[in-house]
Amino acid sequence: MTTYRYHAIPADVATALRVRDDAGETRTPFVDDDGGAPLRCCLRRSTPGESIVLVSYAPLRRWAAEHGAEPGAYDEVGPVFLHADECSGPDGDGFPAAVASSRRVFRGYDKRGHIVGGLLVDPAPSAARIVAEAALDDLFADPAVELVHVRAVEFGCFHTEVRRPS
């Protein structure tokens, strides 16, 4: 069984997004009175009273820059929640059950940054990890798939990135 590493938005990228997001805007933090926002800086849900910010983020753009890829129209920009201030990041790099336990689309990208496959998953919370890892197994079975983005179905927002295991 392959062990997958789920990547949160790196701390340096989150810091930059808090100043100016990938849509070129400066967003205003707010207090999350109810809690439950899926935070992409630490892969957990916010708690009531936390200060958070909703920013625009282009996750494929950074991977493409690292790898000399040209994703073209696949360079999507979408909303993500972050802590308003620096946080400690995720508790490890394993399956982020707190933000990945409902309907998700898993999109596979090739070395150019182009979509080459995808899967829709809708697991019961008790099976979320097993279903997510089976989806990753299926996508990474295609040697063209270099990375997978996990996104929310309803809002399309980015949740986490998984790179081809080495």
pTM metric for this prediction? 0.91
Q: What are phi and psi of 14, to 5 degrees?
A: -60, -40
Q: What is the pLDDT of residue 153?
A: 87
> What burial letters (b/e) apply to 85-106, b meaning 16+ CB within 10 Å?
eebebbeebebbeebbbeebbb
For position 100, what pLDDT does the model report?
Answer: 64
Cα end-to-end span (Å), the chain: 13
What is the per-residue pLDDT for 13?
A: 97
User: What's the pLDDT tens digit per position in 75-134?
Assistant: 999 999 999 999 999 988 888 877 666 789 999 999 999 999 999 998 888 888 889 999
Question: Does residue 42 contact residue 93 with C-beta atoms inside 8 Å?
Answer: no
For 28-83, the pLDDT digits (tens) are 999 999 999 999 999 999 999 999 999 999 999 999 999 999 999 999 999 999 99
| pLDDT of amino acid 115 | 96
Spatial neighbors of 126 by CB under 8 A, at least 6 apart, are: none
Contact residues for 80 (Cβ-Cβ < 8 A; gap 6+): 9, 17, 40, 54, 55, 56, 57, 157, 158
Question: What's 71's DSSP letter?
Answer: -
Q: What is the pLDDT of residue 1?
A: 62
Q: Is the pLDDT of residue 11 over 80?
A: yes
The reported pLDDT for the residue numbered 4 is: 92
